[in-house]
């Protein structure tokens, strides 16, 4: 499909150069009203192969995971999950700072402050 009128005019000029639709049909040895016969279709299929695109294999599981890991929302959720797991298991804060500031979730044994 032409993108603009000027493209369509160029296509019409090219078509006219070959004698219009009838001239192109004659060059391709086909009928504009009936198309190719079954025998011609089979002959073309054997000569040129089937009229299909080769299927691409589906992406592997690891490739899909890699693509998903590029999403900023997934990165944020993974960071929050790691912080939550570290906090829930009673780990120390950043750089070994004892867990004295988070009095809501830490057990009394973790509130050791020197």
**Tens digit of pLDDT for each residue in 22-72?**
888 888 778 888 888 888 889 889 988 888 888 899 999 999 999 988 999
**Cα–Cα dist 92/7, whole Å:** 68
Task: Let me know whether 65 and 100 are in one domain.
Answer: yes
Q: What is the per-residue pLDDT for 7?
A: 66
Question: Could you tell me if residue 53 is inside a domain?
Answer: no
Instruction: Answer yes or no: do 39 and 71 share one domain.
Output: no
Q: Are residues 68 and 106 in the same domain?
A: yes
> In angstroms, what CA-CA distances link 45 with 25, 39, 51, 110?
19, 10, 8, 77
- C-alpha span between 109 and 70 (Å, rounded): 39
Whether 2 has a pLDDT exceeding 50, the answer reads: no
Residue 56 lies in a domain: no
| pTM, to two decimals | 0.32
Domain count for the chain, please give it: 2
Domain hosting 12: range is 5-48
In a domain, residue 55? The reply is no
Same domain? For 42 and 65 the reply is: no
Same-domain check for residues 43 and 69 = no
């Amino acid at each position: 499909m032409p993108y603009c009128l000027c493209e369509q005019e160029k296509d019409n000029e090219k078509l006219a150069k070959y004698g219009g639709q009838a001239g192109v049909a004659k060059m391709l040895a086909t009928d504009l009203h009936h198309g190719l016969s079954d025998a011609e279709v089979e002959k073309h299929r054997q000569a040129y192969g089937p009229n299909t695109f080769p299927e691409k294999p589906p992406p592997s599981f690891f490739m899909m995971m890699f693509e998903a890991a590029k999403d900023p929302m997934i990165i944020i959720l993974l960071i929050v999950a790691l912080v939550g797991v570290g906090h829930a298991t009673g780990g120390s804060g950043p750089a070994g700072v004892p867990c004295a500031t988070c009095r809501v979730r830490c057990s009394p044994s973790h509130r050791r402050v020197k």
